[in-house]
Structure 1
């Protein structure tokens, strides 16, 4: 197939800001988890599928299967739709502070 580029699980692009390995990164509607540290404007590999522990909004009680959205200002997942980008679903329940196991869906 002449037009095939790659599977798409990992995407390399210029980092929109300084990021650390494991951080959530959003570029437009593309969300991924940084595979390594990168300075602003430097290449960073983003995983767009898989399960990752991501920081969550303390105020949200998250249930298994809940849709999760990325709050790019707070750099955390939330169940709040308005103003945020859908990134995946919770595969574990979590309340309070901390992280939540998040299955990314590269199709969003």
Structure 2
């Protein structure tokens, strides 16, 4: 018996959402495939590697868990607060002070809500 539904790399989210800008869905970080209007449903990646905005002052080493700061819509190294998602991705490359992006591998199921 084959009970596979799909590969699990995407989920359906409801807008508003901007293409390429991560959104928190429970304990998942999801990256919309396209811009979604308010109330519009569409696909968002929950697996894969993406170049995403980071805090320019953050010094991120390759291989460390990184945290999504929802207010500024950027990855940080410090633990996030309420509304953020900690440990939801791993940096696949180093990104030093002054860098504006980081190469992030989404790790679904590992996110922890900030407090």
TM-score by length of 2: 0.82
Query: How many residues matched?
Result: 106
Matched residue of 1:38: which SS?
coil
Matched residue of 2:44: which SS?
strand
TM-score by length of 1: 0.87
CA contact (8 A) 1:19 1:39 kept: yes
Q: 1:49-87, CA deviations, whole angstroms, 9 ceiling, x for partnerless residues?
A: 110001001121111011111111100111122313122
- The gaps in structure 1 that reach 5 residues or longer are none
Structure 1 runs of 4+ aligned residues shifted over 6 Å read none
Structure-1 residue corresponding to 2:105: 103
Structure-2 residue corresponding to 1:19: 17
C-alpha deviation, 1:4, in angstroms? 4.6
